[in-house]
């Protein structure tokens, strides 16, 4: 239930060494109104100290106006104020009192106030604090409340009475956000996705105070945030790399499948490797460049799987690497030298980064036709025949464009 803590004082007047009650009577406000008799304060005090006195002494005391916020303060700032080791601006700082942090006032020395908040004790400039009524008003507008359950099981209802429907149940020592003002002794709370009401007799409601951060705590927090950010960045980089590699692999697989499909279609239904030089129209498109080179690759790929024969030039019966490239281009009316060494001077040199389908990729004693995406079609060796290889499997001597 909600409890208001107040400072109290006895209102008396001292006259000539005697304690007197001014006026005929004083009304002290507490749970019930009580009127002080005019017989004198001595008799009242005597009765109050008796064990069986019906009315406790507190009933004769008057609450102060500052109440629970008389010794509490908030930073009057949009960010934070520094808590210093000593009451002057050149002193080192011990911590920071952020907006919405609460502090206990220990002492006020003119322009400086000594406070304690969390693990930090030190000095702040008095003008930077909200205290008393201003602190209470600020708390009411900015500080929420938490309800701690004091019953073993407490019903959360859809209204402010025990006849309201039960929405859910909460248990001892659980804490929930109070979402508004109390109504008839009932508090609105948020329990997960459920908004309901609980009886104030079975919860302790307290402000959601937060406290200052020491210099050491700030250093630890910043280090933890930096480590977390670096970890997140590394995880993202790894995920991006894996995604890029998967995309590249998927693309290569799709393109390889398309090439093999095209080769199968060009072989007119025969098994892979059974294409013939005469089976293709073998005509270059009118334009030069990528489309013309792709036509060369499409033609060459129909012979994948056919045998490698040293010195051979037959695309069906067997050929070596230079014989393969020479025979493929011969079908398009392009005459190339017979050996790889002579092919190193054919056409125009381009960089590997500029290579397009149909370009010759020449190595030390080997040659293949560039397919794109880092692959070549070539007569590999006697064990593998005509097939597809990684274009960078070894050092590239030169790249030549012949169409």
Model confidence at 2, pLDDT cuts 50, 70, 90, reads very low
- SS3 string, 101-153, reads EEEEEEEEECCEEEEEECCEEEEEEHHHEEEHHHHHHHHHHHCCEEEEECCCE
256 and 338, same domain (yes or no) = no
- ∠245-251-256 over CA atoms, to 5°? 125
Pair 295, 368 in one domain: yes
Q: Please say which residue of 91, 113, 142 terminates a domain.
A: 142
Tell me what pLDDT residue 270 has: 42
Q: Can you tell me the distance from the alpha carbon of 317 to that of 308, in angstroms, rounded to the nearest whole number?
A: 8
Residue 356 lies in a domain: yes
- The whole-chain average pLDDT of the chain stands at 81
**Considering the chain, what percentage of its residues have pLDDT values greater than 90?**
62
The residue segments making up the domain with residue 35 are: 8-63
What lies within 8 Å, CB to CB, of 176 at 6+ separation is: 146, 147, 149, 170, 189, 190, 191, 198
The answer on 129 and 85 residing in a single domain is yes
Nearest residue to 105 via CA among 77, 124, 81: 124
Residues 375, 282 share a domain: yes
Predicted TM-score (pTM) of this structure: 0.42
77/131 same-domain check: yes
Residue 290 placed within a domain: yes
H or E stretch at 236: helix 215-266
365 pLDDT above the threshold of 90: yes
Can you give the pLDDT at residue 254? 66
For residue 135, is it within any domain?
A: yes
Residue with tokens 């290569």: 252
Identify whether 270 is part of a domain: no
| pLDDT score, position 61 | 42
Q: Is 238 in the same domain as 346?
A: no
| Residue at 2 is within a domain | no
Tell me how far apart the alpha carbons of residues 154 and 152 are, in angstroms, rounded to a whole number: 7
Per-residue pLDDT of 104-148, as tens digits, reads: 999 998 899 999 999 999 999 999 999 988 998 898 888 889 999
What pLDDT digit, counting tens, does each position of 61-98 carry? Answer: 444 444 667 899 999 988 999 999 999 999 999 999 99
Number of domains in the chain: 5
- Per-residue tokens: 21: 């009650």
Specify the pairing of strand 166-171 against strand 153-157.
Answer: antiparallel
Question: Domain boundary residue among 24, 39, 63?
Answer: 63
Does 36 score more than 50 pLDDT?
no
Tens of pLDDT, residue by residue over 330-358, are 999 999 999 999 999 999 999 999 999 99
More confident residue, 13 or 318: 318
The fraction of the chain above a pLDDT of 70, given in percent, is 73
Q: Is residue 287 part of a domain?
A: yes
Q: Residue 289 pLDDT more than 80? A: no
DSSP state letter for 46: H
- Confirm whether 338 is domain-assigned: yes
């Amino acid at each position: 239930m909600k409890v208001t803590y107040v400072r109290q004082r006895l209102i008396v007047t001292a006259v000539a060494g005697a304690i007197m009650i001014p006026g005929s009577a004083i009304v002290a406000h507490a749970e019930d109104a009580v009127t002080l008799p005019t017989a004198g304060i001595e008799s009242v005090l005597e009765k109050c100290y008796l064990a069986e006195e019906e009315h406790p002494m507190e009933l004769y005391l008057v609450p102060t106006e500052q109440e629970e916020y008389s010794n509490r303060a908030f930073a009057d700032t949009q960010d934070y104020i520094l808590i210093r080791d000593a009451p002057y601006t050149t002193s080192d700082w011990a911590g920071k009192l952020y907006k919405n942090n609460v502090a206990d006032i220990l002492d006020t020395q003119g322009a400086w106030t000594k406070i304690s908040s969390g693990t930090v004790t030190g000095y702040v400039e008095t003008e930077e604090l909200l205290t008393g009524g201003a602190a209470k008003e600020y708390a009411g507008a900015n500080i929420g409340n938490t309800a701690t359950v004091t019953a073993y099981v407490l019903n959360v209802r859809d209204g402010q009475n025990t006849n309201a429907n039960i929405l859910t149940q909460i248990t001892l020592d659980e804490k929930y956000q109070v979402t508004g003002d109390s109504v008839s002794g009932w508090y609105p709370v948020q329990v997960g996705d459920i908004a309901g009401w609980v009886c104030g007799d079975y919860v302790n409601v307290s402000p959601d105070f937060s406290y200052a951060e020491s210099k050491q705590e700030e250093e630890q927090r910043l280090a933890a945030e930096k480590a977390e950010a670096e970890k997140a960045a590394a995880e993202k980089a790894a995920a991006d790399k894996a995604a890029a590699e998967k995309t590249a692999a998927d693309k290569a697989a799709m393109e390889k499948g398309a090439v093999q499909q095209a080769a199968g279609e060009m072989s007119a239904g025969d098994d892979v490797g059974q294409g013939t030089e005469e089976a293709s129209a073998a005509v270059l498109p009118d334009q030069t460049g990528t489309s013309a080179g792709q036509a060369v690759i499409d033609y060459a790929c129909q012979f994948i799987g056919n045998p490698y024969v040293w010195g051979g030039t037959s695309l069906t019966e067997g050929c070596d690497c230079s014989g393969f490239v020479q025979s493929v281009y011969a079908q398009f009316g392009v005459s190339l030298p017979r050996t790889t060494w002579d092919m190193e001077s054919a056409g125009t040199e381009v960089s590997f980064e500029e290579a397009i389908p149909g370009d010759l990729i020449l190595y030390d004693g080997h040659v293949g036709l560039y397919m794109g995406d880092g692959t070549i079609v070539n007569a590999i060796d006697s064990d593998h025949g005509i097939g597809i290889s990684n274009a960078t499997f070894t050092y590239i001597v030169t790249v030549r464009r012949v169409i």
